[in-house]
Amino acid sequence: MTETLLERFVSQVIASSFYQELDRTYLSNRVMALVGEEGVEAETTATNLIDLKDELVALAVKNGFCGELLEEQDIIGAQLMDLITPAPSQVNANFWQIYARDPEQAIADFYQLSQANDYVKNKAIVKNVYYQSPTEYGDLEITINLSKPEKDPKAIAAAKLAKSSSYPLCQLCMENEGYQGHINHPARANHRIIRYEMEGQTWGFQYSPYAYFNEHCIFFYGQHEPMKISRLTFERLLNIVDLFPGYFAGSNADLPIVGGSILTHEHYQGGRHTFAMEKAPLEQVFTIAGFEDVQTGIVKWPMSVVRIAGPDKSRLVDLADKILEKWQGYSDPEMGILASSNGQAHHTITPIARKKEGLFELDLVLRDNQTSEEFPDGIYHPHPDVQHIKKENIGLIEVMGLAILPPRLKDELKVVEDFLLGKVDQVADYHQEWANQIKADKEVSPENVTQVVQEAVGQVFSRVLEDAGVYKRTPQGQAAFLRFVQAVGLAEQDTDIS
């Protein structure tokens, strides 16, 4: 006998949670309270719990228990998936009990739960366009972000009319755990956070709902305080990669233009992914006076990166702090590099930490947020001629070699392909010069046109990163980079190994 939609969903909940067969009636009633009673007895061909949830949400809309906006539907969906999600206390107890004997297994189990309960939106993430593009800096990664739905005009209008709320203060606050959500704040009924301590303070570990890479996660401070790059940042990042084996951890910069999208809450990002920057070799190796035990060098990368490595976390923290302090106050007027102007600080660092085979590693990416009349968006920001592909800030993820490009490009790049094949006479104005150049440079056929356009996008992203690099990859730029290293305290420079 075929199970109905309600029966199959409840059966899946029982199979996937602490509920037992005795709870079937209770669960059925809780589901009908959310979606209504009409239609739950219909047959279904769906077998996956998340697909069944989606059918129930559609039923809730039909029955008038839910509005038509995606934000409203997400609220019902999160409540349905909360049925298979243990309470925060149980999730944390399970995590740390397993962690005591097998840290990697504890992390894997929490990631599995975060996918199973649809907090990590795998069904949406697979819609993203993803490919790798060869460049002189290695294979850069390109994504066109299609997983996170764009705001419906009706949702924007409704959001303007909605009563404003300051709870939770932001999407990274602890108070999001279990939060119902509303038109201006995402549903979080099925959200769980692992608590841990650093410096005697509570921190949280969670996954990113719309992940940009494998096991994309967030480590955040338990209090709503602004981001700040400091000595503490380096200590925390190295402690995180020690505590969460196999994960990198990095921080966005803490200044506008070069910083991330959320500067109001101290947090870091991490995950189990190897970016092109990690694979990039050292071009020059040198020794900093007083830090002869720390491996130090300049990375072959379009941005300006100092890599330090060694077995002792405290030594890396000391050197990273020295480099940060020097960079914050460093100017090279000949190169147009200014530590500050008009009372505004310009220099900070985007740091990334890893632990590999017992060695700790920190990549310190020098950032500068100056603007000028020629480049009002930022001197070290994508310049106007590449903004048709990438206009947004270059944050931590892009710095490491993964482009997050806007949804508009999916259709726009298809038109560029048609232009190269002679199917249309023109493309969007802001793409036209670029498309003309590709047409002049490349032999294009129906078989290779997609690859040609993808590789052209990869080259643009490479340029984007070069624009964001403070020290350009010219003899003059690299000589200026070494002047900064000398200012830090160059003891010995080895032979150029590029």
> pLDDT by residue (tens digit) across 258-305?
977 778 999 999 999 999 999 999 999 999 999 999 999 999 999 999
pLDDT of residue 426: 93
pLDDT of residue 166: 82
- For 483, which DSSP code? H
Determine the straight-line distance between the first and last CA of the chain, rounded to whole angstroms: 69
Taking CA 305 as the corner, what is the angle to CA 299 and CA 307, rounded to the nearest 5 degrees?
65
Q: What distance in Å separates the CA atoms of residue 413 and residue 296, rounded to the nearest whole number?
A: 41
pLDDT of residue 158: 52
pLDDT of residue 497: 47
Whole-number percent of the chain with pLDDT over 90: 89
Lowest mean pLDDT among 144-148, 198-202, 282-286, 422-426: 144-148
Q: Which residues contact 423 (CB under 8 A, 6 or more apart)?
A: none
Tokens at 259, concatenated: 């910083």
pLDDT band of 184, cuts 50, 70, 90: confident
Instruction: Kindly state the average pLDDT of the residues 383-387.
Output: 95
Average pLDDT over the chain reads 93
Q: Which residues contact 431 (CB under 8 A, 6 or more apart)?
A: 388, 412, 415, 416
b/e map 433-443, b = 16+ CB within 10 Å = ebbeebbeebe
Q: Is 66 exposed, middle or buried (0-12, 13-18, 19+ CB in 10 A)?
A: buried
Domain extents for the chain? 5-66, 89-120, 125-402+474-493
Q: What distance in Å separates the CA atoms of residue 250 and residue 233, rounded to the nearest whole number?
A: 9
pLDDT band of 40, cuts 50, 70, 90: very high
> pLDDT by residue (tens digit) across 307-349?
999 999 999 999 999 999 999 999 999 999 999 998 899 999 9
Domain 125-402+474-493 has CATH 3.30.428: yes
Predicted confidence (pLDDT) at residue 149 exceeds the cutoff of 80: no
- For 386, which DSSP code? G
pLDDT of residue 263: 84
447 three-class SS: coil
- Per-residue CA distances from 314 to 19, 203, 278, 298 (Å): 47, 21, 22, 21
> pLDDT by residue (tens digit) across 44-99?
999 999 999 999 999 999 999 999 999 999 999 999 999 999 999 999 999 999 99
pLDDT of residue 481: 96
Tokens at 289, concatenated: 């006076």
Predicted confidence (pLDDT) at residue 203 exceeds the cutoff of 70: yes
> pLDDT by residue (tens digit) across 224-258?
999 999 999 999 999 999 999 999 999 999 998 89
> Residue 387 in contact with residue 402, Cβ under 8 Å?
no
pLDDT of residue 492: 72
236 versus 154: the higher-pLDDT residue is 236
